[in-house]
């Protein structure tokens, strides 16, 4: 496990990329959290998701942050004619996953804090966890955790569309469930916090993220 800091969220508001930073004092600049690196870590690094177009010239152009990769959004239609929606909540059973690439730690304690203790309603089927939100004006099923049970989990959400952040190696699963890639991406940037920190990976397959890692789902 290594530590990293995350700047403001992708909307540019005074929020962390994390949904509910347990035991961490709120700040409008940075937060810290855990990230698992499989066989090796990337110590002394900072990471952030950004969608605010004003952030790039400041953070990347002036403050030493680096563009790392683009995180593409995938969608599938559900019931496009209905504008309301909701999730039929179920009990959440934390299922730790050993994921490839760099990713937020998904041990039982984190998953329980993230979903079981959350005031938001979630539904689970197998490893998949979903919720409901309004995304760009559309009633949406948000795929927060990936894995087996995806189809059943999606059926627990009444929504116009379903939305996911698909990682390399997951394309076949999501295509089989009717998802397609969209032109919309999230800019992922990072910064080495110390001069002797190793170079940050700049390929998409070096990172594994889901929409559950963001602060507004």
CA end-to-end distance (rounded Å), the chain: 24
Chain centroid to Cα 27, Å, comes to: 20
The whole-number pLDDT of residue 104 equals: 85
The whole-number pLDDT of residue 86 equals: 95
The pair of three-digit structure tokens given for residue 167, joined into one six-digit string: 């990682």
- Count of domains for the chain: 1
Report the alpha-carbon angle 42-45-50, nearest 5: 120
Domain range for 174: 2-213
The whole-number pLDDT of residue 47 equals: 57
Band of pLDDT at residue 17, cut at 50, 70 and 90: very low
User: Minimal CA–CA distance to 8: which of 21, 25, 27?
Assistant: 27
Band of pLDDT at residue 143, cut at 50, 70 and 90: very high
The pair of three-digit structure tokens given for residue 4, joined into one six-digit string: 């990293």
Band of pLDDT at residue 50, cut at 50, 70 and 90: low
Distance CA 136, CA 58 (A): 26
The whole-number pLDDT of residue 64 equals: 82
Mean pLDDT of 127-144: 96
DSSP letter string over 106-119? --HHHHIIIIIS-S
Radius of gyration from C-alpha coordinates of the chain: 17
**113, 216 contact by CB (below 8 A):** no
State pLDDT tens for residues 105-133.
Answer: 889 999 999 999 999 999 999 999 999 99
Q: Which residues pair with 189 in a beta bridge?
A: 48, 67
Q: At residue 36, does pLDDT exceed 90?
A: no
The whole-number pLDDT of residue 130 equals: 98
The whole-number pLDDT of residue 4 equals: 34
Answer yes or no: pTM beyond 0.75: yes
**36, 4 contact by CB (below 8 A):** no
Residue whose structure tokens are 């540019």:
12
Q: At residue 44, does pLDDT exceed 70?
A: no
Task: Tell me phi and psi for residue 32, to 5 degrees.
Answer: -120, 155
Q: At residue 151, does pLDDT exceed 90?
A: yes
Pairing of strands 138-145, 161-165: parallel
Distance CA 122, CA 159 (A): 14
**189, 65 contact by CB (below 8 A):** yes
The whole-number pLDDT of residue 53 equals: 65
């Amino acid at each position: 496990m290594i530590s990293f800091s995350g700047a403001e969220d992708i909307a540019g508001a005074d929020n962390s990329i994390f949904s509910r930073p347990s035991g961490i004092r709120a700040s409008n600049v940075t937060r810290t959290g855990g990230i698992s690196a499989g066989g090796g870590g990337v110590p002394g690094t900072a990471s952030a998701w950004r969608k605010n177009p004003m952030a790039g010239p400041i953070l990347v152009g002036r403050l030493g942050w680096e563009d790392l990769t683009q995180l593409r959004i995938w969608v599938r239609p559900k019931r496009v004619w209905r504008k309301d929606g909701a999730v039929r909540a179920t009990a959440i059973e934390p299922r730790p996953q050993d994921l490839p690439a760099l990713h937020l730690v998904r041990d039982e304690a984190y998953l329980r804090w993230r979903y079981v203790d959350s005031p938001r309603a979630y539904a689970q089927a197998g490893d998949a966890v979903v919720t409901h939100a309004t995304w760009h004006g559309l009633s949406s099923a948000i795929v927060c955790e990936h894995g087996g049970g995806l189809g059943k989990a999606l059926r627990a959400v009444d929504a116009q569309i379903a939305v996911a952040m698909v990682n390399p190696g997951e394309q076949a699963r999501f295509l089989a469930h009717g998802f397609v890639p969209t032109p919309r991406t999230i800019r992922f940037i990072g910064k080495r916090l110390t001069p002797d920190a190793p170079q940050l990976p700049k390929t998409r397959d070096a990172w594994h993220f889901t929409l559950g890692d963001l602060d507004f789902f």
